[in-house]
Chain A
Amino acid sequence: MSRVEIRFAGFGGQGIGLMGRLVGEAVSLLEEGKNSVMTQSYGPESRGGASSTDVVIDEGEIDYPKATELDYFVVLSDEAYHKYIPKLKEGGILFVEEDLVTIDENAKKAKKIFKIPATKIAETLGSRLYANIAMLGFVCANTKDIFSEEAMITIMKEKIKARFVEKNLIAFQKGMEYKSDS
């Protein structure tokens, strides 16, 4: 496996940072023989506006810690989509929150586009706060080289506050099971 770069992006409050942290941690601590580095946008934008977090995964040592050309772009807001879509590499894979992101011709370079109404799914569980985890489930089901279901479930049980774990696990499951129509 060579270097894989993923960017999660949305607006402040969607739990974008948590997505990166969970993925980075699942890979670094639980995926045999893989390393990961997680960096976050850290500035005024993380208090509103477009927020992003990058995870770089490699079997070898990770030299440059930031993303350069995204293999995967997982996006939950329109603003973040427009800001970062130029970074998706030709033939990369795009995951979008279909009710919050309107894709344009810039998305044509994607080899595949996966769409999910993550926020609506979360709302069926009582809060839109689970949208990030539903998206992670969707990403997990449709990729092979990022993280495994088992690793993510283990990390969620360890990292997420006890009283929220159950709902998040359900959100993850619903995301895993969701079938994108495109």
Chain B
Amino acid sequence: MSKQKQKFLEVSTGEHFTTGNHAAAEGALAVGCKFFGGYPITPSSEIAEHMALRLPQLGGNFVQFEDEIASIIGILGASWGGVKSMTATSGPGYSLMVENIGLGMMTETPCVIINVQRGGPSTGLPTLVGQQDIMQTKWGSHGDFEPIVLCPSSVQECFELAIEAFNYAEKYRLPVTLLLDETLGHMSERLIIPDASKIGKVERKKPKDSPEEHLPYKADDDLIPPMAVAGEGYKVMVTGLTHDERGYPNLNVETQDKLVRRINDKIRLNKKDIIRVEEYKLDDAEIAIIAFGSVARAAKGSVNRARKNGIKVGLLRLITIWPFPDERIEALAEQVKKIYVPEINYGQITREVERSVHGKTEVKGIFKLGGAIHNPQEILKEIEGDA
């Protein structure tokens, strides 16, 4: 980051040449994150390092906890203390966090988790890229919930989607995951941070009724309850047990049905607001590639090269991974004769694409199992081989 622009401002306005990890950290600071709780892990450690430097300058707090379990609980607590909070980790750390990401879903606690993916399972490839945590971010914790997961593919987008992750977390009251990968986290390119006045910030809804009348989990028509936090005079009830509008444990079929339906529907009914994709040269495409993260850049390279060779290929880049853009993909299936899905895993998004197309077109995954991103030529070869 350029030196002169970085002194004690939440928003480091200016042009920088920096990494995805630093850009994501700066995005979090720009939208007002004031608490980071985490445990360093490659390839995400630069986020913790940057937050440890920057948060104290801004009156925020940085805590390095004993592990990832404490880290996620710490950021839930910070959120209930009234500040925007986050953590950053990689696959193995995310595995430790999933139980309490579920607690965050059940207690409707706004916070952000950045997962910079490396190759797995287990310790796997600590220093090398993977995209193998797609399903973990969806199904990692037990029970029914609808997560929001965003997936940037440039340094600029790491910054912008960090902001959006916080905004969705605050708006819909849930933990939101920002899914990077090692390539993106560690590569440097231009980042333009706008003026502070241009940063769109969403803050959680506050109760409008009196502390006496207030019910902590009584949702408005949008299915989202206003959130009072500790110290504001309102009752604050936080439990992972099935709870009623008062926040009291109430372990029966009706309460469970009402609560779990609501925390899912608040996301399902707002898919249009949440789902984002980039469409690249799809208008006249006969073949489509669906890709995300750093691999989407290689896919774009394949589209450009294929077009030069006269093959009409387009790219649908997934920016929101969850909720999944089923409808957009089904519409695409009616247009193209084949969809290729390059990803650095053994078919996680490919299976979702197959599910979404309802047999209307052929779907072919191009898998790398971790350690390197596809290069444009590899994807192109696959397409040309079939043509």
Q: Which residues of A contact B373 (CB under 8 A)?
A: 66
Q: Which residues of A contact B17 (CB under 8 A)?
A: 21, 24-25, 28-29, 36, 38
Docked pose: A44 CA to B188 CA in angstroms = 20
The answer on a CB contact under 8 Å between B15 and A40 is no
Q: Which among B128, B182, B188 has the highest number of chain A CB atoms within 10 Å?
A: B188
Q: Is the interface of A mostly helix, strand, loop or mixed?
A: mixed
List the interface of chain B (C-beta within 8 A of A): 2-3, 15-17, 43, 127-128, 182-183, 186-190, 294, 297-298, 300-301, 304, 373, 375-377
- Taking the nearest CB of chain A, how far is it from the CB of B16, in angstroms? 8
Q: Which residues of B contact A142 (CB under 8 A)?
A: none
A40-82 to B contact mask, C-beta < 8 Å, 1/0: 1011100000000000000001111110100000000000000
- Taking the nearest CB of chain A, how far is it from the CB of B118, in angstroms? 11
Which of the residues A35, A40, A62, A63 comes within 8 Å of B186, measured between beta carbons?
A40
- Taking the nearest CB of chain A, how far is it from the CB of B274, in angstroms? 26
Q: Given A25-B17, A37-B187, A158-B2, are A65 and B43 neighbors across the interface (CB < 8 Å)? A: no
Docked pose: A64 CA to B305 CA in angstroms = 11
The answer on a CB contact under 8 Å between A21 and B376 is no
Known contacts A24-B17, A42-B43, then 13 further A-B pairs from the complex at CB < 8 Å, ordered by chain A residue: A24-B188, A28-B15, A35-B190, A38-B189, A42-B127, A42-B128, A63-B300, A63-B304, A63-B376, A64-B301, A65-B294, A66-B373, A158-B2
A148 located at the interface, meaning its Cβ lies under 8 Å from any Cβ of chain B in the complex: no
Which of the residues A25, A28, A35, A66 comes within 8 Å of B375, measured between beta carbons?
A66
The answer on a CB contact under 8 Å between B3 and A158 is yes
Closest 8 CB pairs of A and B: A63-B301, A25-B17, A43-B127, A64-B301, A63-B300, A38-B188, A28-B190, A37-B189
- Taking the nearest CB of chain B, how far is it from the CB of A149, in angstroms? 19
Q: Which residues of B contact A43 (CB under 8 A)?
A: 127-128
> Of all chain A residues, which has the CB nearest B377?
A68
- Taking the nearest CB of chain B, how far is it from the CB of A11, in angstroms? 18
The answer on a CB contact under 8 Å between A39 and B3 is no
Q: Which among A37, A40, A64 has the highest number of chain B CB atoms within 10 Å?
A: A64
> Of all chain A residues, which has the CB nearest B128?
A43
> Of all chain A residues, which has the CB nearest B372?
A66
Q: Which among B15, B16, B190 has the highest number of chain A CB atoms within 10 Å?
A: B190
